[in-house]
Structure 1
Amino acid sequence: MNEQVLGHFLRYKREHANLADYSVNADTRRRTPGLTRDEVASMGHVSVDWYTRIEQGRTGATPSFEVLADLCRVLRFSQPETDYVFNLVGLVSPQSEEASISGAAWTLLQAHNPEPAFIMDQNLTVIATNHSFQRLYGNWDTLPPLQRNWVWRTFKSSAFRDRLSGWVQYAHYVTGVFRKVYSSDADSKVLLQVYTAIKADPVFAAAWDDLVVSDFHVQHMLVNSQTVGELYLVENVLGLPGTHQYVVFEDAGDQSTGTKFKQLAGADE
């Protein structure tokens, strides 16, 4: 760990904090620009001495996860700034709950019509879909969060299981991704809820016991649409820069599927 780099960053952010965001006395006679060390320590529930040691970059002054998370909260760090300071001390950054998406991401999603696309948050819960996704898989807007989870859907949606050829192989892949994501946030109540819901499934249990671990990678899928028949899909997952969200594209894998997507765009699934 580089204590000096962390301390310098904390001091800079403290001294440049906007006092209008805090319930402190913004007296013009203040000797310190921004917040004082005492104020940050008080709001961060740490002693002034310990915070001073951290900010001064003294050897061995390594904040715990909880202390650093509180300091990030007090100093109004953005998610990239939070990621940065947690990287400095070799800890996994707490991930913000991002229930909304940017306008640019929404535009990207809709521009992918007539092919399905959707966006997942850091817990792999679907938070936005385009029109073609809804035509193929139904409208998820009214479903509770658990039932919109990509992993939950893979194992608990009988409609998805029945319509996907090679479901077992896909389920092993999803399990591997889930294990890796879960390892980055072992205290997540959302991921625990997903695990609890699917742990009894024999395919999941077998893959989990085999310690399958996977990154996202291209998937070739055959999905049966009740309206237009079999669709050959190529599924790609991309991380959205500056977020902990993922956009998933299900592109036509052949000309026939491309034609069927155009037909599907004007038909009810």
Structure 2
Amino acid sequence: MDKQELGDFLRSRRERLRPSDVGLAYGARRRTPGLRREEVAVLAHISTEYYTRLEQGRAPRPSSEVLAGITDALLLTDAEATHLHDLAGTARKSAATHDRTVRASIVSLIDRLPGAVGVVLSAAFEIIAWNDLGVALLGDLAGATPADRNLARRAFLPEVARKTRSDVADMTEFRPHVVSQLRTAAARYADDPVIRDLVAELRANSEDFDRLWQRHDVQPKPIITKTFRHPEVGPITVDCDTLLLPDRDQQLVLFTARPGSSDAETLELLRIITSGSLAPG
């Protein structure tokens, strides 16, 4: 149970709610943002003292019934409720560290998709499997270190982005997505040194990451499209589809261009260059 993170998360969710969201009058004397602690306690059917101690990181582990009451009181989404249980240590965990091994069938699948960029991401946002078109779009993945294959580091650390092929036009949309996913992973794998060290590194070296981290968001918005600025073929806008691989807590990400579009032609040109049928330039 991570008492400090649990308390910070509860406070962040409480402060985002308006009294009207839960059927309460605003009141002229209200000075604090969001709901009051006593209001959450009443809605959750627990004592104000116990809820206050939870937010302050001083309470013992809450029961599943208490967490259910808090979930309802704070109007948590499914993703937020899962995160709450992770922080409280009541969620079932399959392993102490995240899985970086990829099923052979998934590797075979992305290799059979010559017209699509296919990569597999670990829970820590490391690219752990890829096809040839993935290399063409994202750079030399086989020759990169695990740290340089990490999309979170590419998104927030300029020195990593410069030495990898990571010029993405819509990074502002991607960054909150990364932080939300990493916060969930950090709670699920609280003792994983790779995730713990990654978060510490990004918080220390990126003000943007640290600002987003302190928002405690755990439900990322889906990324529908993404535009890459490729050094050889120019900009490519692709559809982005993510398939969850829940048995290993991984994501299969596919980038495809709409048939008949100029982006499809550019992606095909990139495939031809990669295959060696056409020399660059």
Shorter-chain TM-score above 0.5: yes
C-alpha separation in 1, matches of 2:221 and 2:132: 24
- 150, 159, 178: which one aligns with 1:174: 178
Q: For residue 58 of structure 2, what is the aligned residue in structure 1?
A: none
Q: Does the CA contact (< 8 Å) of 1:92 and 1:184 recur in 2?
A: no
Task: Give the structure with higher Rg (CA).
Answer: 1
Aligned equivalents of 1:206, 1:90: Cα separation in 2: 28
Deviation at 1:191, TM superposition (A): 0.6
Aligned pairs, number:
182
Counterpart of 2:247?
Answer: 242
**Matched-pair contact (CA < 8 Å) for 1:232–1:253:** no
Q: Kindly, what percent of the aligned residue pairs are identical?
A: 17
Name the residue aligned to 2:237.
232
Given residue 182 of structure 1, which amino acid in structure 2 is its aligned partner? Answer: A
Question: Structure 1 residue 247: deviation in Å?
Answer: 0.7
Report the secondary structure of 1:158's partner residue. helix
Distance change >3 Å, CA 108–CA 216, structure 1 → 2: farther
Partners of 1:224 and 1:265 in 2: CA distance: 16
2:233–2:266 CA contact under 8 A, matched in 1: yes
- Extract unaligned runs of 5+ from structure 1: 1-88
2:135 and 2:272 mapped to 1: Cα distance?
12
| Residue pair 1:154, 1:161 contacting (<8 A) in 2 also | no
Structure 1: how far apart are the matches of 2:90 and 2:227? 42
State the shift of 1:239 in Å.
1.5
What is residue 140 of structure 2 aligned with on the other side?
139
Structure 1 residues 215-226: aligned runs within 5 Å: 215=220, 217-226=222-231
SS, match of residue 194 in structure 1: helix
The answer as to whether partners of 1:223 and 1:231 remain within 8 angstroms in 2 is yes
* Letter of the 1:131 counterpart: D
Matched with 1:92 is 92
Contact preservation (8 Å) 2:224, 2:239:
yes
When residues 161 and 185 of structure 1 are mapped into structure 2, their CA distance, relative to the original with a 3 A threshold, is: same
Distance in 1 separating the partners of 2:130 and 2:165: 20
Written as runs of structure 1 = structure 2, the 5 A alignment for 1:1-269 is: 90-95=90-95, 98-156=99-157, 157-159=160-162, 163-199=167-203, 200-215=205-220, 217-240=222-245, 242-253=247-258, 255-267=261-273
In the TM superposition, residue 216 of structure 1 has moved relative to its aligned partner by 6.6
Structure 1 residues 206 and 242, CA, compared in 2 at 3 Å: closer, same or farther? closer
Q: What is the one-letter code of the residue matched to 2:266? A: K
Structure 2 residues not aligned, in runs of 5+:
1-88, 275-279
What RMSD, in angstroms, separates the aligned Cα atoms of the two structures? 2.6
Q: 1:161 to 1:171 in 2, by over 3 A?
A: farther
Conserved in 2, the CA contact under 8 Å of 1:239 and 1:247? yes
Report the Cα offset of residue 141 of structure 1: 1.5
Distance verdict in 2 for CA 1:175–1:233, change over 3 Å: same
Q: TM-score, normalised by structure 2?
A: 0.58
